[in-house]
């Protein structure tokens, strides 16, 4: 940052030379500083100091965070699975919610820990009951797409008071589940921000 501030515009090659590093070693650092908004880069001119305030750089950074960079792998079960097996599945996969798909592999429901607790304290045989009897079903499912921002996701999680959203791809006959985004992913994004900005 000091080198660019004092000498900009300056090429990546020249910065590397001054730091006695190779250009390729320096490349990720320059990419982060540019993405975070501290430096600007112009082709064939080089890097120069953008003069942007840290708070501005952080808010730009937040606004650019999108689902596809932070999502997890979805854990999916079929509508006919028994509640008992689905509870075991939730433990084995170590997740807080399961997504239910129909025979065409399209999203049909969501199962949370509370759905299982509610059913378990009732007087039902969990080994005989299929999950489609207890799931929250379409069209009442809140979902997102992989290009959505984390701000949009966080708003949905808070306003609907839920812990996770399926990430979906629209198909002509329904929604295909391609990912899962949870409060944990949002917390991870928050920490990556702290890391990027040396907080
Ligand atoms: P927990 O049961 O662990 O508190 P949630 O707060 O996510 O987890 O779930 C609360 C209720 O909301 C459950 O009945 C669940 O089926 C439903 N639910 C969870 N995620 C979604 C979603 N993305 N869209 C619609 N309903 C959901």
State which ligand 1 atom lies nearest to the alpha carbon of 111: 16
Residue nearest to atom 3 of ligand 1 (CA): 113
* Chunked mean pLDDT (size 10), the chain, 199 residues: 90 94 93 87 87 74 94 98 98 98 97 97 94 97 98 98 98 97 97 82
Distance from residue 63's CA to the centre of ligand 1 (Å): 26
CATH number of the domain at 119, please.
3.10.580.10
- Whether the ω angle into residue 16 lies within 30 degrees of 0, i.e. cis, is no
Give the pocket of ligand 1 (CB within 6 Å). 96-97, 110, 112-115, 136, 140-142, 162-165
Residue nearest ligand 1's atom 2 by CA: 114
Predicted local confidence at residue 45, as pLDDT: 87
pTM here is 0.77
Range of the domain at 38: 2-52
Atom 12 (ligand 1) nearest CA: 162
Total Cβ atoms within 10 A of residue 197 = 15
Q: How far is CA 96 from CA 91, 103, 120, 178, 197, in A?
A: 9, 23, 16, 17, 31
Nearest to 48 by CA among 17, 15, 5: 5
Both tokens of 172, joined, read 């002509």
CA distance 28 to 69: 17
Per the structure, the count of domains in the chain is 2
Residue 195 lies in a domain: no
In a domain, 8, yes or no: yes
Please give the biggest Cα pair distance in the chain: 75
């Amino acid at each position: 940052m000091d080198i660019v501030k004092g000498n900009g515009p300056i090429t990546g090659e020249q910065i590397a030379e001054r730091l006695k590093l190779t250009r390729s070693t320096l490349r990720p650092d320059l990419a982060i500083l540019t993405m975070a908004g501290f430096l600007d880069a112009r082709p064939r001119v080089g890097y120069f100091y953008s003069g942007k305030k840290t708070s501005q750089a952080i808010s730009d950074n937040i606004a650019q965070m999108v689902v596809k960079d932070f999502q997890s792998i979805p854990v999916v079960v079929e509508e006919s699975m028994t509640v008992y097996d689905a509870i075991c599945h939730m433990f084995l996969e170590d997740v807080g919610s399961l997504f239910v798909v129909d025979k065409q592999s399209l999203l049909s429901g969501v199962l949370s820990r509370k759905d299982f607790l509610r059913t378990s304290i009732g007087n039902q045989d969990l080994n005989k009951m299929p999950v489609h009897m207890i799931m929250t079903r379409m069209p009442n499912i809140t979902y997102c797409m992989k290009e959505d921002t984390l701000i949009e996701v966080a708003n949905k999680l808070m306003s609907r008071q839920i812990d996770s959203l399926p990430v979906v791809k629209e198909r002509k006959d329904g929604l295909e589940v391609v990912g899962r985004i949870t409060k944990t992913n949002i917390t991870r994004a928050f920490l990556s921000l702290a890391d990027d900005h040396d907080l």
